[in-house]
Every structure is written in structure tokens, then in C-alpha cells.
Structure 1
Amino acid sequence: MIHFFYENTSEIIEENIKPWIEKIIITEEKRLGEINYIFCDDEYLLKINQDYLQHDYYTDIITFDSVRGKTISGEIFVSLQRIKDNASLISKNYEEETRRVIAHGILHLCGYKDKTDEQQKEMRAKEDFYLNIF
């Protein structure tokens, strides 16, 4: 089950995006467990970053993995404020950039990493693939 929660933001993500998220999981040959998206502002996510990861910087997403085998579960924190700022900086559409970040979190739960250049290229290619089937 996919749940959307909101902290410190008035923006709402359309519920009709959930079947697309499920399609990503199925296409990656995984099963849907419990996924909680927590949409928030920069300060809320900064606090999560500081408290749990000991990082003192803003980010657009933090994914906490509770995956068991092929069953995808976890908590995905997303700063809508950071996405809006980043979309503006790179001249991208806010809605598409939001979908990219949503897919990014699911891809992390599916086992994709993004620490090296090679991993980043693979992650970006997967994001682009799933954006094209939205």
C-alpha cells in the first residue's frame, strides 16, 4: 500500500500517481509492501537529514529502506520546496521534476544506488524510462 502524508506544506500530490508508482515496482520485478511518502518543506527534511544521517544540508529526498526480499517497503521523505527550487534552477517543469524524485525514491528501494558516476547514470536512465511511461 502506498500512503501520502504531508508535513509543513500545503501542496498536495495527486493520488492518481500511485498506479504509476506501482507500475515501476512491478516492472522492476518487485512486490509492493508498505510505502509511506512524507511530503514536506526544506526545514523538515533538513532536520531528518541532521538527526538520522548526520548531514547538515538541504536535499530533495531521503529514503529509508525497509525492503524484505522482493517486497518493497520504506519511508520516502520529499521536500517539495527543494524540488521547486531545483526545477527552477535547471529550467525543468515542477510536476515532472516531482515525478522524477518520486521515482528516484522507489528506485532506491528497488536496489539502485547513486553514489558513483556510473550508478548516477544508471539511476538517471531508469528515471527517464519511467517518466516516459507516466
Structure 2
Amino acid sequence: MISFNYEIEFKLQDEAKHEEWISEVIDSEDKSEGEVNYIFCDDEYLHKMNVEFLDHDTLTDVISFDYTMGSIISGDIFISVERVRDNAADFKVDFDDELRRVMAHGILHYCGYKDKTEEDSQLMRSKEDEKISLFHVEQ
């Protein structure tokens, strides 16, 4: 089950299409869908979590808490819409594409992909691009 929660004045356009897409992302990695909660928030909310839970005093676009058991993907993915908007402007990409990149990023972590080394980051970016392209395919 995929759910979307909002801590700010923001709402995904077409939640059903995003839900189908995330399910497809999970399925494309030969995993099963458990309970995945997306929580959309602002920089202040996510910064507080980053300090409290990860001891990182920095801004970030996404923090994920992984509850995956075996191949059943589950977790809470917190996304700063404010940071995503700024990153989209910095990278000169569409906000919706950058948002989907971050949404896929959390799921890919649950599937076992890492991003701490340059090699891992390149694979993660490639996987993000692959998963974003799934969204544009008509269901």
C-alpha cells in the first residue's frame, strides 16, 4: 500500500498515477509492495529530523526509514518539497521530474541500492532515470 501524507500546503497531482508508478517501480526490481508512506514537508521539518535521527546538521531533500523485510518493500520516505524545488532550479530540470527522482530514490534504497561511493552514485542515478521513465509510459 502506497500512501501520501502532507505536512505542508502541497499535494501531488494525480495521486493514483503516482501510486501506480511506485508499485511499478517496486515490481520492476522483483520486489513486493508492503507499506510505503510518503510524507511531504518543508526544509525546517526535514532538517529537524536530520539532526534528531541522523545527527546531520544539514538540509536534505529526502530521508527514508527502511522497514523492508526480505523482498517486501516498506518504509517512510520524508521529502522536503522546498529542497526539491530549489534543486530543480539549480539543476535546471522540471520540478515534477526532480520530485519523481527523489520519490524513486527512497524506493531504490529499500531495494538495496547505495549512493555513498562515486560508482554507487552513478548506478543510483541510472536507476533513478530508468524509474522516472516508467512514469511517462501510459498505463
Length-normalised TM-score, structure 1: 0.97
Displaced runs of 4 or more, over 6 A: none
Q: CA RMSD in A?
A: 0.7
Instruction: Report SS of the residue matched to 2:98.
Output: helix
Task: Tell me which residue corresponds to 2:110.
Answer: 109
Tell me by how many angstroms 1:133 deviates.
Answer: 1.9
Aligned residue for 1:72, secondary structure, equals strand
Deviation at 1:129, TM superposition (A): 0.7
Give the structure 2 partner of residue 3 of structure 1. Answer: 3
Are 1:28 and 2:29 counterparts?
Answer: yes
Matches of residues 1-134 of structure 1 in structure 2 within 5 Å? 1-7=1-7, 9-14=8-13, 15=15, 16-134=17-135
CA distance in 2, matches of 1:77, 1:133: 22
TM-fit CA distance, 1:22? 0.3
Residue deviations 1:101-126 (CA, integer Å, cap 9, x gap)? 00001101111110000100000000
Task: Identify unmatched segments of 5+ residues in structure 1.
Answer: none
Q: 2:88 and 2:119 mapped to 1: Cα distance?
A: 23
- Output one character per residue of 1:41-78: Cα deviation in whole Å (capped at 9) or x when no partner: 00000001000000000000001110100000000000
Aligned length: 133
Residue 115 of structure 1 aligns to a residue in which SS?
Answer: coil
Paired amino acid for 1:37? Y
Q: Percent identity?
A: 51
Amino acid corresponding to residue 55 of structure 2 in structure 1: Q
Equivalent pair of 2:25/2:134 in contact (CA under 8 Å): no
Q: Which amino acid aligns with 1:34?
A: E
Q: How far off is 1:37 after superposition?
A: 0.5
